[in-house]
Each structure stands twice: as structure tokens, then as C-alpha cells.
Amino acid sequence: MLGTCTVPPSLLEQIIASGEVRVVTRNTPATFYYGIDEPRGIDYELAKGFADHLGVKLHMYVAERFWQIFPDVIEGKAHMGAAGLTVTVPRKKIVDFSPAYQTVRQEVIYRRGTRKPYGLQDMLDGELEILADSAYVATLENARRQLPQLTWLENREVGVEELVKRIVSGEIDYTIVDSNIFDLLQHSYPDAGEAFAIGPETPVAWALPKTTDTSLRESVSAYFAELHATGALNAILDRYYFSTKKDFDYFGSRAFVRDFESRLPKYKEYFLAAAIRTDFDWRLLAAMAYQESHWDSNAVSPTGVKGIMMLTSLTAEMLGVEDRTDPEQSIHGGAEYLVRVIKKVPERISEPDRTWLAIAAYNVGYGHLEDARVITQIQGGNPDSWQDVRERLPLLSEPNWFERVPRGFARGHEPVIYVDNVRRYYDILRRMTADENSAADEAEILADAAPL
């Protein structure tokens, strides 16, 4: 009697057959959070891309507590953990890791205006509270060998952002946060400051089950190799960390948070209504308005542009805006003008490049943008890439270049600064409004809004 045996399907084959990949994560600005329109976060975008790569659905869920991530992967509840996880020696003993997709440092956070510590020895008389079961625990345990007096509290009930809030409110003196997460949080909590970094940079990767079946790990590795090769990984990271590339502006960020709380609420319904009519994210329109006027409806520039969107008299007349200082008219006028500009940008250009190019044209004029795209092409760059065009726009103020294009001289550095600032404000607004549920507000505004 001949026995038959079949080779059981690999883990990757099981995932594909089920039509779903299960991923456990956590809520942070750098990993995963619910935006108004859709889920966002670096790990979400990477995981969604991997699911699409496999041709399956993504089932991503948030661990109730950070410490549950690794058991969920080990026990098979999740196929992987994508949660901004640092690769440490103890963790490598219980899980495998994907290729790293960024590196971070552990940073001690304190409240600005209080005594800044320059080392752990300066924190002995203060209250240090950290995320339970995080990599910070091992760091502190190692430091305590040289500093036995060092103590800390491990919190299992809250996340990193809540600990930063507690720093700002004065409930605790210090915490530890990964540098990538604090880079995203500092604009929303400008009174929280970085004191010093502990240890070297550490790679960040996905946690995978530690098993002899390497099919999933090999597939994930191939996926990340493709992201690196095509530049897609850098594009994702740039979308989230763009606002952190410049030096942190403490006073500017404090002013933004203050204006977010005191000025924006007066105009939010107008931004929502304009967004519904034009299909732009209201926060993008609000970011442009902040760059233009700091949400001041009575703003006037030395050149005579006025209002919250700082419209010229010619543009206002073209758009039918009778009173440029009327915030509702100004916001709707600015949004409509952006619609007209983006329609000129070739549809073949993918997002977000098409939007950034349109916003540059909103500032400098579409003709000058086209000149910069021509220069980009002459120099061998990609005229459909905002980054490539951004590098050439300043050349419009140099005679050996502006004399070679149809529209001539322009202050090409101004649209670069303009788009950079809009992107930064937009990024901050998306994070600061990520937990809002605006569906009811939008429906009410839509019911009252008349078409343009």
C-alpha cells in the first residue's frame, strides 16, 4: 500500500490563499493613525503596499497595549508587526525582522523652561516615565549598572504621545521617545524639547515570526528591495518627515498652535465648504491660507493683496470676489483659483507632485512654472517631478537662464519657500486633526452650500 504525502503550504501561500495579510501596529504619528479621510502612517502605507504587492487585502489592527505586539506575531494572531519597531538583541531572540526602512535614536524629552538635563545623572531628582515593555527599558537597565540611583516608571496604559502631553502639562519631568516620532510631535507640542540622545542610531523594521519557513520573510525582503530601488520608500518617508527637515522653529510652532486654537475655528466651516466644492482637502486650503495670512482675514501686504487668501484685485475680479477681506469669499475664491491652476497641470503627473506643482504656480504664475519645467528638462531632470522642478525654480532669477525661457525673470526662490511652508503646515494640520470625525460637519456644510 503506497502512502501519499503532501507538502503543507508555506506561510506565504497560506496568506495568499486566505486573501488577507494580518498586521498588528500601534497608534503613533509615524506608524498608523486614522485620518479624517483614510488611515495614514508610514507603516500603514508600507503594509498596504505589501498587501497590494501580494494581491490580498490588508487587515491592520492596533494592539490594545504596545507589549502585545510581539506575542501577537509569535502566536500567529498577526502575520507581522509593523509598528515602528526598533531592532534590538533581545527582540531578535524571539522574532525575525524585515530589512530596516529607517533608523532612529532614543531621545530624552523634557519641558522647555525647566532645567535641561544633559545626562541621566541630571535626572535623578525628577520623575521619569516611559512606555512599558519598550526598548527604552533595556537602555535604562543597562545605564543603571553605572548609575544605581536611576529609577523610572513604566506605563502600560498610555502611548508615547500621551507621555509627551504629560511632559507639557508638568505631570512628569522626563520621558523617552524615538527621534522619528518626536520629530513629528514637536510641532504640535512645542513646549516639549529634546534634552539629549541615548545610545546610537537603531534600525527600524517589521517583526516577523521566527520559523524555518522563510517564505514570508523572503517576500517582504524582496518588497523592500523594490521600494529602495524605485525610490518609493524615500517618497513615503518624505511625505511624513518633510516638515522635520528644517530646523525646528519653537516660536513659529507656538504661534501656529495658538492660531490653530484661536483663529482657525472661526474659518473652519468656510474651508470645509470650499473643500467639498473643489475636492481639495480642507486642511490643504487652510495650510495655504496660513502661509498667506496666518489666518488673518484683514491682512494686507505692501503690494496691495488682501484677505485670508491674500488675493490680488485682478484675481478677485476674475473670480467674482467682491470683498477680499470677507473670509468666506476669500477662501472660496482662493480654492477656485487653485482649481483653475491645477487643471493646467498635465493629468499624467502623479500625486502629490501635481498638487505641489499647482501650488507653486498659484504663487509664481503658471507660465513661470512652465519655464522652470523647461529648464529642468534641459538639465536632464524630470519636469513632472516637483523635487526636480523645485531645484530649478531659483534659476529663474539668473540671467543666463531666465533669458532662455519665454516669460523671463521671476523670483524663483519664492515659490520654493511657499510650497515648503504649505507642505509643513499641511502635514501638521493632518496630524493635529487626525482624530476628528468631521462627517457630520461636512454633511451639514454640504447641505447649506450652493454650487459655485
Q: CA 240 → CA 124, 178, 326, 404, distances in Å? A: 35, 15, 34, 36
Instruction: For residue 134, give the 3-state DSSP assignment.
Output: coil
Give the rounded distance of the alpha carbon of 433 from its chain centre: 12
Give the rounded distance of the alpha carbon of 42 from its chain centre: 8
Q: Which of 107, 292, 336, 442 is catalytic?
A: 292
Cα separation, 85 vs 75, in Å, equals: 18
Instruction: For residue 332, give the 3-state DSSP assignment.
Output: helix
C-alpha cell at 406: 519665454
Asked if 177 and 160 touch (Cβ cutoff 8 Å), the reply is yes
C-alpha cell at 293: 495670512
How many secondary structure helices (H) and strands (E) does the chain include?
20, 11
| CB burial string 79-103: b at 16+ within 10 A, e below | bbbbbbbbbeeebeeebbbbbebbe
Cα separation, 161 vs 87, in Å, equals: 21
Residue type, 106: Q
Give the rounded distance of the alpha carbon of 417 from its chain centre: 19
Residues with Cβ within 8 Å of 320's Cβ and at least 6 positions away in sequence, in order, are: 333
Is residue 292 part of the annotated active site? The answer reads yes
**What is the Cβ-side half-sphere exposure of residue 170, based on CA atoms within 13 angstroms?**
3
Residue 252: in which H helix or E strand, if any? Answer: helix 250-262
C-alpha closest to that of 275 among 35, 38, 446, 40: 446
Give the rounded distance of the alpha carbon of 273 from its chain centre: 24
Active-site residues, by number, are 292
